[in-house]
């Protein structure tokens, strides 16, 4: 018969594969498993008639990082699944959930901060692809493109994060339907996850109706905090929704994330495309490459006919001018249609590329963004 100590060790090994959704580490590495106790089950539970396996009661004492953790149910379900996978005995799980002591939590956060030390996206060997979404002027749908592109990456299975770096005109919380603040672990913030995307925005702290009146140095500091004081793990993709134009935040992003790739969003008309070129020309003065151009609101499809409401050729003009000026190819990567649903679902808090169940749409705007996401990573 299997001994209880051996069962406890086997369960601990299985729990090492249970990952905390926020911190991206196993619950054992994080010290969240305070104790495991296995005892022989009483009564006729000692062996099952079906397979003859011995039965044991297994009590797992779990200490969450914060009381009332919103992911408590997710973690306990994963722990139950890990226990149920044990093949040599029938285990009856009992999960007792508490929270870490203040000292234990302080030690954990100190260890995590010491590991990161600074901006984690600049460390050698980082595999995160970083795309900064820029535009020359407002009103071209830059934030909508950012939100739907992030949701597309997440729906395709990539670990995806997004930073709302448009401090004055933050809009990602609304586009993702976020109304909560990040969890604060002794000064380290957990990004809010919505539609599979890890998010941070000043709008989560300031409130949707508050005006932000900050000068350049404080803007730079806000970006530094978003990068270094938030626990991102190591996402596959990080998107930044930049403020329009070539101001302080664009320069700060280039300095903090020299491995970022710029994606310029424009609309077809010259009044937008001429200004969009300037946002791409930032790459002449800072260490950042322009990955490509996205033309938004390219056409409106009505009864099978494409109506070019805002003219045509803006994206091509931007791509050609940036290619000439920068000395390498800057392709036109997508021409996205004008769709009322993009606005309607976005304002309701769901990216238009997703169905109500969070799955990626395979037609229309969903297919367009899927092609764009795949091309960006290619």
Residue 266's CATH number: 3.40.50.300
pLDDT given at position 265 = 92
Indicate whether 109 belongs to any domain. no
pTM above 0.85? no
Residue pair 79/27 in contact (Cβ under 8 Å)? The answer is yes
> Does 258 reside within a domain?
yes
CB 191 within 8 A of CB 199: yes
What is the mean pLDDT of the segment spanning 238-244?
A: 89
The boundaries of the domain holding residue 30 are: 4-100
286 has pLDDT over 90: no
Could you tell me if 203 and 337 lie in one domain? yes
Contact 163, 225 (CB under 8 A): no
Same domain, 81 and 21: yes
Residues 48-64 have a mean pLDDT of 75
Residues 181 and 130 in one domain: yes
Do residues 213 and 301 share a domain? yes
358, 246: one domain: yes
pLDDT band at 1 (very low <50, low <70, confident <90, very high): very low
Query: Using 50, 70 and 90 to split pLDDT, how confident is the model at 246?
Result: low
Q: If you average pLDDT over every residue of the chain, what do you get? A: 82
Residue 133: pLDDT band by 50, 70, 90 thresholds? Answer: very high
Tell me whether residue 178 is in a domain: yes
* Averaged pLDDT, 212-228: 62
Whether 95 and 62 have beta carbons less than 8 Å apart is answered as yes
- CATH of residue 18: 3.30.300.130
Residue 113 placed within a domain: no
Whether 106 is in a domain gets the answer no
Q: Which residues are CB-neighbours of 117 under 8 A, at least 6 positions away?
A: none
Q: Would 64 be classed as within a structural domain?
A: yes
Residue 260: phi and psi, rounded to 5, are -70, 150
The whole-number pLDDT of residue 125 equals 73
Instruction: Please report, rounded to a whole number, the percentage of residues in the chain having pLDDT higher than 70.
Output: 87
Is residue 347 domain-shared with residue 207, that is, in the same domain? yes
Residues 6 or more apart whose CB falls under 8 angstroms from that of 298 comprise: 267, 268, 308, 310, 312, 315, 335, 336, 337, 338
> In this structure, are residues 71 and 99 in contact, taking their beta carbons and an 8 Å threshold?
no
186's torsion region: left (phi>0), alpha (psi -120 to 50) or beta?
A: left
Predicted pLDDT of residue 199? 92
Q: How far apart are CA 236 and CA 153, in angstroms?
A: 9
Q: Is the pLDDT of residue 188 over 60?
A: yes
**Annotated binding-site residue numbers for ATP:** 136-143
Last residue of one domain, picked from the residues 100, 128, 146: 100
Task: Count the domains in the chain.
Answer: 2
The annotated binding site is made up of 136-143
Statement: residue 43 has pLDDT above 60: no
Examine the domain organization and report whether 205 and 332 are in the same domain: yes
The 3-state secondary structure of the chain reads: CCCHHHHHHHHHHHHCCCECCCCCCECCCCCCEEEEEEEECCHHHHECCCCCCEEEEEEEEEEECCCCCCCHHHHHHHHHHHHHCCCCCEEEEEEEEEECCHHHHHHHHHHHHHHHCCCHHHCCCCCCEEEEEEECCCCCCHHHHHHHHHHHHHHCCCCEEEEEECCCCCCHHHHHCCCCCCEEECCEEECEEECCEEEEECHHHHCCCCCCCCCHHHHHHHHHHHHHCECCCCCCEEEEEECCCCCHHHHHHHHHCCCCEEEEEECCCHHHHHHHHHHHHHHHCCCCEEEEEEECCCCEEECCEEECCCCCCHHHHHHHHHHHHHCCCCCEEEECCCCHHHHHHHHCCCCCCECCCCCECCCHHHHHHHHHHHHHHC
Asked if residue 294 and residue 175 are part of one domain, the reply reads: yes
Residues 228 and 361 in one domain: yes
pLDDT of residue 374: 95
Q: Is residue 186's pLDDT more than 50?
A: yes
* Residue 115, in any domain of the structure: no
Q: Indicate if 199 and 340 belong to the same structural domain.
A: yes
| Residue 97 clears pLDDT 50, i.e. is over it | yes
- Comparing 36-50, 139-153, 285-299, 332-346, which segment has the lowest mean pLDDT? 36-50
Same domain? For 96 and 125 the reply is no
**Is 315 found in the same domain as 246?**
yes
Does residue 222 belong to any structural domain of this protein? Answer: yes
Average the pLDDT over 75-89 and give the result: 84
């Amino acid at each position: 018969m299997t001994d209880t100590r051996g069962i406890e060790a086997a369960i601990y090994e299985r729990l090492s594969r249970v990952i905390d959704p926020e911190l991206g580490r196993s619950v054992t590495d994080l010290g969240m498993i305070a104790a495991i106790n296995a005892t022989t089950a009483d009564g006729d539970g000692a062996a099952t008639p079906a397979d003859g396996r011995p039965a044991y009661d297994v009590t797992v004492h779990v200490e969450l990082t914060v009381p009332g953790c919103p992911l408590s149910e997710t973690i306990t379900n994963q722990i139950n699944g890990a226990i149920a996978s044990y093949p040599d005995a029938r285990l009856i799980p009992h999960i007792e959930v508490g929270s870490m002591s203040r000292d234990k939590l302080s030690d954990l956060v100190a260890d995590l901060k010491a590991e990161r030390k600074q901006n984690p996206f600049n460390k050698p060997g980082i595999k995160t692809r970083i795309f900064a979404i820029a535009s020359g002027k407002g009103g071209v749908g830059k934030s909508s493109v950012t939100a739907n592109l992030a949701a597309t990456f997440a729906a395709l299975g990539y670990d995806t994060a997004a930073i709302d770096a448009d401090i004055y005109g933050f809009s990602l919380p609304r586009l993702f339907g976020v109304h909560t603040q990040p969890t604060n672990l002794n000064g380290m913030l957990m990004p809010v996850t919505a539609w599979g995307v890890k998010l941070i925005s000043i709008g989560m702290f300031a409130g949707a109706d508050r005006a932000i009146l900050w000068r350049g140095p404080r803007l730079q500091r806000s970006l530094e905090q978003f990068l270094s004081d938030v626990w991102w793990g190591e996402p596959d993709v990080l998107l930044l929704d930049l403020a329009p134009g070539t101001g302080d935040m664009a320069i700060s992003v280039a300095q903090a994330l020299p491995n970022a790739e710029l994606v310029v969003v424009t609309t077809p008309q010259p009044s937008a495309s001429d200004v969009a070129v300037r946002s791409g020309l930032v790459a002449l003065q800072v260490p950042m490459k322009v990955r490509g151009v996205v033309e938004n609101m390219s056409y409106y499809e009505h009864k099978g006919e494409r109506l070019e409401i805002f003219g045509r050729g803006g994206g091509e003009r931007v791509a050609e001018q940036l290619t000439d000026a920068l000395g390498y190819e800057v392709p036109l990567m997508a021409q996205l249609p004008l769709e009322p649903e993009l606005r309607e679902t976005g304002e309701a808090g769901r990216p238009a590329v997703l169905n109500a169940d969070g799955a990626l749409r395979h037609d229309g705007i969903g297919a367009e963004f899927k092609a764009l996401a795949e091309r960006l990573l290619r």
